[in-house]
Amino acid sequence: MNLDFGIIAVVWPALLKGSLVTVQLTLAVLICATPLAVLVALGRDSKIPALRLPLAVFSAVLRGIPPLLVLFIVFFGLPPAGITLDPFPSAVLAMTCYMAFYFGEVFRGGLQSVPPDQWRAAEALGLKPSRTVVRIILPQTLPAVLPPYISHATEVLKGTALATAVAVPELTSAARQVFVVTFRPFEVLIVAALIYAVLDGILLTLQYWGERWAARTGTSIRF
Amino acid sequence: MTSATDPNKKPVAASDDASGAGPMVAVRNLRKEFGSLVAVEDVSLDVNAGEVFAIIGASGSGKSTILKCINFLEPPTAGEIWVDGRRVGVVETGGRLRPARASELRRSRADIGMVFQSFNLFPHFTALQNVIEAPMAVRGLSRSDAIGLAKELLDRVGLGDKFDEHPRRLSGGQQQRVAIARALAMRPKVMLMDEVTSALDPELVEEVLGVMKNLARDGMTMLVVTHEMAFARDVADSVVFVDGGRVVEQGPPSEILRAPQEVRTKAFLQRILRTDG
């Protein structure tokens, strides 16, 4: 096989455009799913059964069906119900739906890693629950949450390739369109893979920083 | 004013009294159950303003639960809690009583300082950040005012050089002194001290007791659950001995600690003095 990476000089604008869509989609899903996941985590360990039980069912169902199916339900299934979304918002909605529950499990573990006395101390000072969660509890979950969070975020990044099935012009989709016309699938796909690797690397760098912050402030120390 | 139709109501409290000389903390017929376990039964206490009130008793006797009921960290099963003439956890509107809303409970708690056995400092905050958080969030102090207050309080507990240290860089005694400063920063009407020296290495106990003595001298009303009999003897105005969730004996330390009347009090004191050496 003769490899000719010179082709990249021609097709890079298309790959760059695809990469930007991939980054946007990943960020949109993370930004939507993360706060929801915190609520899911709090709700799943809530004292109120009317909150806890439905969330447990949703969590099991949404994490148990293929992500592609969720995407199809949103993109093809909702229009007959009168809700028609463009490809990009469809992908954001679908991925947010199930990632909120995956991340929910991550935050749940994190919340359980914080000693209950921390809640009591905040309560005794008269702090509101919302402020307690944001200022006192969540920062302390960081050491427990960060590694699985980043690993799930990597899943989100990779999972954006599924959106090609509903015609979102993300990186994998762009790579396919490019090699179909240039007949250089191997080179184009290798470069697409490298781009994914770089994006993964950015996530891992965030994890590294987060862990250093946690180590510096002693959040990871328990007694 | 209290409702005359409620047989449980007792006229307690400063606000009802023309002289204004009611107790700062009044506990009336407190009962606390955990499932089928009765942790506290029919406990009534009066703590006057500026008084140091020591609660002693074996572990599991319910003495810590009494403290946690006062700020409703553990909502009482029955009974009344009054702080500075106001009912805690129950609100009277139009002659009827209802449980306090979460926001109303928070307001009560802001006036009741609490210090825990295990310090419970926020580990990701520096000493200063630990102290300024609640005054800013609950009292609405500006950041600079809160910092001024926090520095003054940390100075007062002897930690003027530790503002920017995180808790894990502090000794247990230092952490507990930060926790006291954190509670004081809310300008509480009363301080609840729950075995605050029990988790400390022996050589660190004195520095915390010293801070508590200073607070007592400055007129802070304190309820102190403690195993430090010397502290109870020297600093407390009143001592109550609790056993099996009930008050067994109550009085000035000279009576309770030196000449207890009840068999159970005597037995407890003998045990604890023997282990104290």
User: Residue A148 falls within a domain, yes or no?
Assistant: yes
Distance CA B64, CA A35 (A): 37
Q: Touching check for B107 and chain A: CB below 8 Å?
A: yes
> For residue A121, which residues of chain B lie inside 8 Å, CB to CB?
116, 120-122
**Identity of the residue in A124, A126, A136 whose CB atom sits nearest the CB atom of B122:** A136
C-alpha distances (whole Å) from A66 to each of A62, A223, B175, B241 are 8, 41, 50, 63
User: Residue A109 falls within a domain, yes or no?
Assistant: yes
User: Residue A1 falls within a domain, yes or no?
Assistant: no
Answer yes or no: is pLDDT of A222 > 60.
no
Distance CA B13, CA B24 (A): 8
Answer yes or no: is pLDDT of B193 > 90.
yes
Ordered strands of the B78-83 beta sheet: B37-47, B25-34, B78-83, B86-87
Range of the domain at A80: 7-220
User: Residue A2 falls within a domain, yes or no?
Assistant: no
Shortest distance between the Cα of B4 and any Cα of chain A, in A, equals 32
∠B59-B62-B65 over CA atoms, to 5°? 115
Q: Are B176 and B130 in contact (CB under 8 A)?
A: no
Shortest distance between the Cα of A110 and any Cα of chain B, in A, equals 15
CB contact under 8 A, A124 and B73: yes
CB contact under 8 A, A127 and B71: no
What mean pLDDT, rounded, does chain B reach? 90
Shortest distance between the Cα of B112 and any Cα of chain A, in A, equals 8
Burial profile B246-260: b = 16 or more Cβ within 10 angstroms, e = fewer: bbbbbeebeebbeeb
The per-residue pLDDT for range B207-239, each reduced to its tens digit, is 999 999 999 999 999 999 999 999 999 999 999
Contacts of A53 (CB under 8 A, 6+ apart): none
- Please give the residue of chain A at the shortest CA–CA distance from B184: A125
To the nearest 10 degrees (0 to 180), the angle between helices A138-159 and A7-44 is 140
DSSP bridge pairs for B56: B241
Q: Touching check for A217 and chain B: CB below 8 Å?
A: yes
Distance CA B268, CA A53 (A): 48
* Per-residue model confidence (pLDDT) at position B184: 97
C-alpha distances (whole Å) from B141 to each of A147, B110, B133 are 37, 13, 10
> For residue B124, which residues of chain A lie inside 8 Å, CB to CB?
139-140, 217-219
Which pair of structure tokens corresponds to residue B237?
């105005």
Shortest distance between the Cα of A53 and any Cα of chain B, in A, equals 23
The per-residue pLDDT for range A79-127, each reduced to its tens digit, is 888 889 999 999 999 999 999 999 999 999 999 999 999 999 999 999 9
User: Residue A47 falls within a domain, yes or no?
Assistant: yes
User: Residue A83 falls within a domain, yes or no?
Assistant: yes
Q: Are B131 and B181 in contact (CB under 8 A)?
A: yes
Q: Are B128 and B163 in contact (CB under 8 A)?
A: yes
Which pair of structure tokens corresponds to residue B266?
């005597």
User: Residue A48 falls within a domain, yes or no?
Assistant: yes
**Identity of the residue in B123, B168, B186 whose CB atom sits nearest the CB atom of A125:** B186
> For residue A139, which residues of chain B lie inside 8 Å, CB to CB?
124
Helix (H) or strand (E) holding B96: strand B96-99
User: Residue A107 falls within a domain, yes or no?
Assistant: yes
Q: What is the dihedral of CA B56, B61, B62, B64, to 10 degrees?
A: 50
- Please give the residue of chain B at the shortest CA–CA distance from A120: B73
> Into how many domains does chain A fold?
1
Measured in residues, chain B has a length of 277
Residue A105 maps to which CATH number? 1.10.3720.10
Answer yes or no: is pLDDT of B9 > 50.
no
Tell me the whole-structure pTM to 2 decimals.
0.86
Answer yes or no: is pLDDT of B259 > 50.
yes
C-alpha distances (whole Å) from B163 to each of A128, B60, B260 are 25, 36, 45
Closest-CA residue to A124 (of B72, B215, B237): B72
Q: Which of A125, A130, A136, A220 to mutate to test the interface with B (most CBs of B within 10 A)?
A: A125
Shortest distance between the Cα of B167 and any Cα of chain A, in A, equals 8
Q: State the distance between the two ends of chain A, measured CA to CA, in whole angstroms.
A: 60
